[in-house]
Amino acid sequence: MNPLLAAAGAILLWSTLAALGHALAHLPPFLLTGCALVLGAIPGALHWRTWRVPWPTLLLGVAGLFGFHFLLFLALRLAPPVEANLVNYLWPLLIVVLTPLVLPGWRITPRHVTAALLGLAGAALAIGAAPTSIDARAALGFVLAGGSALTWACYSLLVRRVPPFPSWAIGGFALASGILALACHAMFEPRATLLPADAWKLAVLGLGPMGMAFYLWDVAMKRGELLSCGTRERAVRLFIHLRIISTFPSPTPAARPRARRARSSPLTGCTPGRTRPGS
């Protein structure tokens, strides 16, 4: 498969990640992450024999998939979704910046630096124009979104430093990450009941942006030119920002205080004053 086409396919699938995660924000984050990642293993199930990889490679895959999504889903609960998603979109920029530090033999050209700076400036302008005030809670959300971006950038680069493995092995990473997340849900989060309306959203989330997107991105990272993938990914994601704005309309001035009070608890997914699903 052409690596640029694979990267484009992953980008299109990831354009739905924030909207689906926000629609399922009533679920505890470990539960949401676990269910979606277990479903994400399904596309690679027919190639399960390729899931056998060295332990360091498996740990890298789990850290990348589990860490990225858990931090992102927490960020979307704490900070305004549009702005938090833009901070998360800094990971292509981080790929460009970190490539010569992580991978020997690579260097950054002025063209890559210019594209990266333009991407960073665009995200900074969008966050600065946020319709709601940035309080301590939102600031923590932005920090978590930045951590999510750093996690995925490092994972995308480090896969080139471990022994080669088939892209279908991503299914094993997803399954192990999903089981870890569900175990954390059982230990640290209150019970929650999945509603019938959640089923199709989880299926789309797990099979799409948390499923096939991983396999496509692995092809792009292993066979493509990293710096070009990073800069082109950044440009496309800023364009997708227009779609996200239409998904998360800004609250009116009168509704902003009420919206801040109604934000759910970041760890339980429960809104204060309301009954948790299934309770």
Amino acid 261: pLDDT:
43
Residue 95 sits at φ, ψ, to 5 deg, of -60, -45
Residue 266 lies in a domain: no
Q: In sequence order, what are the residues at sequence separation of 6 or more whose Cβ sits closer than 8 angstroms to the Cβ of residue 86?
A: 123, 126, 127, 241
Reading the chain (279 residues) residue by residue, the pLDDT tens digits are 787 788 888 888 988 888 898 899 899 999 999 999 999 999 999 999 999 999 999 999 999 999 999 999 999 889 888 888 888 888 888 887 888 888 888 777 787 677 677 777 776 776 666 656 778 888 899 899 999 999 999 999 999 899 999 999 999 999 999 999 999 999 999 989 888 899 999 999 999 999 999 999 898 877 765 545 544 454 445 444 444 444 444 444 444 444 444 444 455 444 333 434 443
Nearest to 36 by CA among 155, 184, 216, 203: 203
What was the pLDDT predicted at 226? 53
Q: Residue 28: inside a domain, yes or no?
A: yes
pLDDT (0 to 100) of residue 189 = 92
**Residue 275 domain-assigned (yes or no):** no
DSSP line for 100-139: HHHSTT----HHHHHHHHHHHHHHHHHHHT-SS---HHHH
Range of the domain at 122: 3-249
Domain presence at residue 205: yes
pLDDT at residue 176 in the model: 97
In a domain, 262, yes or no: no
279 part of a folded domain: no
- CA 175, 199, 250: angle at the middle one, nearest 5? 100
Residue 231 pLDDT: 46
Any domain includes 91: yes
Considering only CA atoms, which of 78, 87, 97, 151 is closest in space to residue 122? 87
Classify 208 as helix, strand or coil: helix
Tell me if 54 sits within 8 A of 163, measured CB to CB. Answer: yes
Residues 6+ apart with CB under 8 A from 60: 155, 158, 159, 162
How many domains is the chain partitioned into structurally?
1
Task: Give me Rg for the CA atoms of the chain.
Answer: 18
**In the prediction, which pLDDT does 127 show?**
67
**Residue 249: its pLDDT value, please?**
47
Residue 258 lies in a domain: no
Strands (E), 9-155: none
